[in-house]
């Protein structure tokens, strides 16, 4: 992963974030219901809503490079969509969380 790189699979978007680029901001797209609460609570305007929809028909948040991994949005999200992990805990071969 390089700076502001994003990895995706059929369920997750994972963004490399934080001042030292050692955090991973995760969007579990399938659970998102597009309510925009995350966008409105983020103190750093780091989130925007997607243009395409999820399988269930909702727009979902996209990280724009400003995320500091402060976790406000994930506490606010009503659908357990968002999380922040330490990079070393979620890489292949890394330590397990």
Partner 1 sequence: MEIDFSKLGHNLEDKLTSKMLPHIWCSGCSLGTNLQSLVRGAVMTGMDMDKEMVMISGIGCTGRASGYVEFDGFHTTHGRAIPFASGVKTGNPNLEVIVFSGDGDLFSIGGNHFIHAARRKLDMTIICTNNSVYGLTGGQASPTTFEYSTTTTTIDHNLRPFNLVDLALGAGADFVARYTSAHFKILPRIIKQAIETDGVAFIDLISGCPAIYGKRNGYPTADYMVKNFLEASVEIEVKEDGSHLLSENTRVEFDRTKGYTKIPIGVFRRQHR
Please give the Cα distance from 41 to 22 (Å, whole number). Answer: 23
The residue within the footprint of ligand SF4, chosen from 44, 54, 83, 87 (CB under 6 A), is 44
Total residue length of the chain: 97
Beta-carbon count within 10 A of 92 CB: 4
Among 4, 68, 85, 86, binds ligand SF4 (CB under 6 A): 68
> Does residue 87 interact with ligand SF4 by CB under 6 A?
no
In the complex, the smallest distance separating the C-beta of residue 63 from partner 1, rounded to whole angstroms, is 14
Largest CA-CA distance found in the chain, in angstroms, rounded? 36
Check if the beta carbon of residue 22 is closer than 8 Å to that of residue 86. Answer: yes
Q: Is 88 strand, coil or helix?
A: helix
Q: Which of 16, 24, 26, 77 binds ligand SF4 (CB under 6 A)?
A: 77
Q: Candidates 4-12, 79-87, 89-97 — which segment interacts with ligand SF4 by CB under 6 A?
A: 79-87
Binding positions for ligand SF4, rule: CB under 6 A: 25, 32-38, 42, 44, 46-47, 60-61, 67-73, 77, 79, 81-82, 84
């Amino acid at each position: 992963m390089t700076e502001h790189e994003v990895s995706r699979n059929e369920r997750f978007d994972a963004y490399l974030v934080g001042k030292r680029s050692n955090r991973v901001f995760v969007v579990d797209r399938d659970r998102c219901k597009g309510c925009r609460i995350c966008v409105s609570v983020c103190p750093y305007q780091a989130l925007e809503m997607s243009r395409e929809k999820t399988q269930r028909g909702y727009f979902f948040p996209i990280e724009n490079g400003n995320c500091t991994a402060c976790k406000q949005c994930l506490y606010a999200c009503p659908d357990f969509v968002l999380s922040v992990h330490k990079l070393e805990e979620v890489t292949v071969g890394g330590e397990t969380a």
